[in-house]
Chains A and B, each alone.
Chain A
């Protein structure tokens, strides 16, 4: 007769091939029954040495590599690189280029958040939101495609402006897209947000306090879910964001539900910004007067931009010459994912994928 039954902690491996791990990602969970007592995210499966490659390419050749880090926010990444070089070289891109950049970046944000919305539904076990999200994404995608000619990795934003002006019907296409977007966002909202099962599964899930989120270096919607109004577009405005009227949506509890709601609201705000840009967009050139070879002076610069996933930083060290001496990328997903080991503790195994999904990471920029 056994007097006492002891329980033993068990190790559970999730990924890296598991489709719900949002890319090439593995987590090692230590579980006590159904509860997670410790979690260790394992990354590096997609490490391509982008920073090393950049040191051996000319500045113009680097733009496509930036597309391939956070591939859901390709325009935003390109903008980050352009901002860094423009600051270092003292180049002011033409007004028209600034507005087009902002339109493209905000449309990409909507696209990216739609991807989050769809996959978050999938994480919760429903496939319908995914279909709705992708139907809407397709319409945005077609506008973006009409600009750069490709659906992903556009290589379109250049240092000093843009590769080309937008097609003649761009303004009409975006103007037609906006009401469709707004309608679609409301549709998505009514489909999933107040769903009882989603509420039950996400409210209070993986809560983090503002102080802890700051200490872990969370950024973007994940940080704003804790009630902190940290949005680079507002706190350190770049490009033309200081001229735009928009709200920074904030959460209260810092849980998975808040992180979800903030992204939905951000899509509405992005649509507002695109609308204002369409009204204000002037005619004119889209490229500044540029030297034939991009040779920034020796020096260093650090720029921040608000990507869909958070604070995107580019640290560029130049020693003259046409290649960077060092190009460090502060990828928001890298820092957000770090907090997972803290967020998962105390969760059920069944919720782990939702917690991961609520952080909205892209492994392409985590591993670089």
Chain B
């Protein structure tokens, strides 16, 4: 167990992340106790692979995969955790709203499978290389993507 103060540990982690992911020009900041790293979408998969395989980072656990609709952009957020080092990190990538596509990370964490299918259902984000990107929570042929801000709460069908 590392006995240093959380602040020091996080700074050390931030330095390690900057070093390992240097080729992708990450922009990192701290939001509360989370180290948040913003990356260009095309770098995310390779960066995730490195973040999992590097011995100092060892992010072997995908805590959560979320999408946030920011109007012109759709932000994909990966919350990572390392069961070996017990540290955590967030990776963010902003996709253009007219072509929201990003490489799937299911080959890195099989647990990303349903998260990505859910994100496609609710936000219309395409995960390239996903083994089976079919509707998960919604039925086949469901019109629209309900969690987009442009989608009415009452649904599309009820509007006359």
Contacts and interface: CB of A to CB of B under 8 A. Distances in A.
Contacts of A228: 83
A47 B31 contact: no
Given A315-B66, A315-B79, A47 B111 contact: no
A217 B111 contact: yes
A217 B66 contact: no
Nearest to A330: B64
Contacts of B151: 52
A240 B77 CA distance: 29
Interface stretch (B7-15, B38-46, B95-103, B134-142): B134-142
B83 A230 contact: yes
Interface of B: 31-32, 34, 60-64, 66, 68-69, 77, 79, 83, 86, 90, 109-111, 113-114, 122, 135-139, 146-147, 151, 153
A217 B110 CA distance: 8
B114 to A, nearest CB: 5
B60 A214 contact: yes
Q: Which of A51, A301, A328, A367 gathers most chain B CB within 10 Å? A: A328
Contacts of B68: 317, 325-326
What bracket does the count of chain A residues touching chain B fall in? 35 or more
Contacts of A342: 110
Contacts of B34: 302
B73 to A, nearest CB: 13
9 contacts: A43-B137, A44-B135, A52-B147, A214-B83, A215-B109, A216-B111, A302-B79, A326-B69, A328-B64
A311 B61 CA distance: 12
Nearest to B108: A215
Contact of B146 (A49, A235, A326): A49
B69 A338 contact: no
A215 B110 CA distance: 6
A217 B86 contact: no
B153 to A, nearest CB: 5
A217 B61 CA distance: 6
Contacts of A302: 34, 63-64, 79, 90
A365 to B, nearest CB: 12
Interface string A9-52: 00000000000000000000000000000000001100101011
Instruction: Identify the 6 closest CB pairs spanning chains A and B, nearest first.
Output: A217-B111, A330-B64, A328-B66, A44-B137, A47-B137, A216-B111
Interface in A194-237: 211, 214-218, 228, 230, 235-236
A304 B147 contact: no
A87 interface: yes
